[in-house]
Structure 1
């Protein structure tokens, strides 16, 4: 958002808060971001956050399953984050979240994931608008 610093600066501050000052684990955060990337078809976010996902401990099979929308895990919180994120991307309002999240996510986690979804949807929309995709040499 270098071209639009009046928008980019505040967005960058929000992004930093969401990445570094929430209760989500690194894996949970990257699961949510990569789910938003899949749901919004954001090739740049997928490219950027697969590396971050590896650093957070996601393996190649998990990354492939996140991309395909078939992510599974034995960790109940991670599964709830993936399910809630996919659901939240498509919802105009977030009524009925209790049916989606059940026990694994508390109110704080739900608020944090919801904010992550909104933030990464904004980025995906901006990158789509300005035709910013993954680098052409990205595998």
Structure 2
């Protein structure tokens, strides 16, 4: 990382309050597919830089929690969108974490390989196909034309489309942050 990680013993109260979001609750449940805290208790992934600005970090973790634990989109569909963003940006940490989350949501190794190769995995549901195609359009052009919008609202509904576009935007931002601060997955070295 381009900045020093923050030792939990040296965190100020605002940083500690943010840190607690990653060391308690759903994010550390045994069934969680990845951890944002390393074995030494230090933050890894996006929170490792969010801790630098607790005001922004708290807002970002709230969006992250909504994406992971509050979205109406099925988990497999959500992970397809996140993995497409990760591949689009070649974001090593996003791909590390969300390949695990994708497997936990039911994506197979063949599905993951297809997404990595830019192919549509076989056997996707209508919602998953819609999420894949809509995410690709948004990543490619930053918008949808009228027909694409109607095609997305059909299976997703307007609230689901809003969630999908928010997920794509959020993970674009996360990918940029990870790239700028050179945040890598565990074991990636320097």
TM over 0.5: yes
Q: Would you say 1:123 and 2:177 are equivalent positions?
A: no
Q: CA-atom RMSD, angstroms?
A: 1.9
What's the counterpart of residue 47 of structure 2? none
Equivalent residue for 1:96, pick from 118, 124, 145: 145
CA contact (8 A) 1:42 1:128 kept: yes
Pairing of 1:1-139 with structure 2 (within 5 A): 1-74=50-123, 75-92=125-142, 94-96=143-145, 98-99=147-148, 102=151, 103-137=154-188
Q: Kindly state the Cα deviation for residue 27 of structure 1 after the two structures are TM-superposed.
A: 0.5
Q: 1:50 to 1:95 in 2, by over 3 A?
A: closer
Q: TM-score scaled to structure 1, two decimals?
A: 0.89
Corresponding residue pairs, total = 137
Does structure 2 conserve the Cα–Cα contact (< 8 Å) formed by 1:26 and 1:56?
yes
Is the alpha carbon distance of 1:17 and 1:59 closer, same or farther for their aligned partners in structure 2, counting shifts above 3 Å?
same
Residue 134 of structure 1 deviates from its aligned partner by 2.4
Cα shift readout 1:18-54 (whole Å, capped 9, x = no counterpart): 2211210110111111011011111110000111111
Which has the larger displacement, 26-35 or 98-107?
98-107
Q: Which moved more, 1:74-83 or 1:120-129?
A: 74-83
- Helix, strand or coil for the counterpart of 1:133? coil
Q: Which has the larger radius of gyration?
A: 2
Structure 1: which 5+ residue stretches go unaligned? none
Alpha-carbon distance in 2 for matches of 1:101, 1:80: 11
In 1, distance between residues paired with 2:122 and 2:58? 36
For residues 43-74 of structure 1, the C-alpha deviation after alignment (integer angstroms, 9 at most, x for no partner) is 11000011111110011010111111112243
- Runs of 4+ aligned residues of structure 1 deviating over 4 Å after TM superposition are none
What is the TM-score when the length of structure 2 is the normalising length? 0.66
**Unpaired segments ≥5 residues, structure 2:** 1-49
